[in-house]
Amino acid sequence: MVPLQPSDLAYNDVQPTEPARALPGDPAGEQAARATRETGPPPVFGKAGAGASARGRESVSMSPLVILGQDRPVPPPIPAWSGAGGSRLVDAFGRRLTYLRVSVTDRCNLRCSYCLPEDADFPFGDRDFLSPGEIEAMVGALVRLGIRRVRLTGGEPLVRRDILEIVRRVKALPGVENLALSTNGTELARLAPALKSAGVDRVNVSVDSLDPERFREVTRGGDLELVWRGIEAALAAGLDPVKLNAVLLSGAGGLADAERLAALTLDHPLSVRFIERMPTEVNQGLQAEEFLSADEVRARLEARFGPLLAASTASPRTGPAAAYRFAGARGEVGFITPLSHTFCADCNRLRLTARGELRLCLFADRVHPLRHLLAAPRPEAALEAEILRVLQDKPAEHKLTQGDYGNLVSFMQIGG
């Protein structure tokens, strides 16, 4: 293993991140004191006390921007695309593929410990990532075949200087009904309005802990306040919904993190999704002793806040996350449980890597190169034919529970 070098942490496409700032003081108050006693101090960014719970359950104070967001109803989940007669993306098991995740880079400006441990062999390869035009061509082929929802991810997608051009090109493709973005939020305060104008509809922000010190530790240097300002900027820009993704981390700290994140949903229209940590090549050593199951977290949250009810009248499962809410809560709590409860039978997704390979399953043994087809005499037809050909190799299910994570080195390669 090659140790991380300072030069590996820098990526010349990285956008300038605002300098880290000290967190503002946490004003004294009974609510804060109560929460501190039970789950540690809540973050108080913006105007303190603005998000006080109406029901006596402790909540996390948020700024006026978030309070503005309360007037908006929590939007219903996007229905699965029925695509009658339109989609040709049907795999050997009859699953219709309508959702594409596109990694635009495998570089990131954070180093979350579970994603890229210190001894990980990084970087994963050169910086010859797909250009905006190449992304447009490849996503275009997939959309002509039946993809309807696209998510841009990474690495950290917002470290690409041309991210707005990528957004504009993908959103302009006829057939793209919804464009989402996954981000660690570090560049969101600066970019949220431009992303919205360029065509991003919804955003998921990764926040594993609301404790600034723990956040800094887990992300190896991340600034929670900066990310929090990004979340507020996303809400203010009208990105809808704004979801928070938290990987479940083991130990007492992990359960406390989950409680504090779940408390946000009591009074704020935010969706918090807890993700079971998955093994990859770089983090398999951590997996066994540090795994925290969604069932354990759910039991803890219900003991603290009351029963979790299905968030919609339909099944709680919308995609991989099962969505719930506490009685009377404004936001939702979701669980993504690839290990304890698999959801492969309903899989509707494909993935495109930053170097132009199709990944049929997150934990597949191999990827399928497509980029060379852009040089074919009729690239559009060549891409479509190859995608339809390899699609039949999409496996019925992953084998994570048997410890087989395929050839996935780190989520940083493909963005989950």
237 vs 336, beta carbon nearer ligand SAM: 336
CB 412 → ligand SAM: shortest distance, Å?
5
89 vs 166, beta carbon nearer ligand SAM: 166
End-to-end Cα spacing for the chain: 23
42 vs 154, beta carbon nearer ligand SAM: 154
Token digits of residue 185: 């939020």
Residue whose structure tokens are 């006596």: 56
364 vs 373, beta carbon nearer ligand SAM: 364
DSSP 135-150: HHHHHHHHHHHT--EE
Residues near ligand SAM (CB under 6 A) are 108, 112, 114-115, 153-154, 156, 182-184, 206, 245, 247, 275, 277-278, 280, 283, 411-412, 415-416
59 vs 109, beta carbon nearer ligand SAM: 109
DSSP 372-387: GGGGSSSHHHHHHHHH
63 vs 184, beta carbon nearer ligand SAM: 184
- Please enumerate in sequence order all residues whose Cβ is within 8 A of that of 226, keeping only pairs 6 or more positions apart, or say none: 17, 18, 20, 21, 185, 186, 189
C-alpha 375/C-alpha 265 separation (Å) is: 49
Token digits of residue 315: 């099944």
Q: Which helix (H) or strand (E) holds 289?
A: helix 284-290
CB 108 → ligand SAM: shortest distance, Å?
5
146 vs 338, beta carbon nearer ligand SAM: 338
154 vs 254, beta carbon nearer ligand SAM: 154
CB 249 → ligand SAM: shortest distance, Å?
10
Strands 242-247 and 202-206: parallel
CB 278 → ligand SAM: shortest distance, Å?
4
**CA torsion 39→44→48→49, rounded to 10°?**
-30
Which segments within 112-232 are labelled E, that is strand?
149-153, 178-183, 202-206
- Backbone phi, then psi, for 208, in 5-degree steps? -85, -20
Strands 202-206 and 317-318: unpaired
Angle between helices 212-219 and 224-237 (to 10 degrees): 100
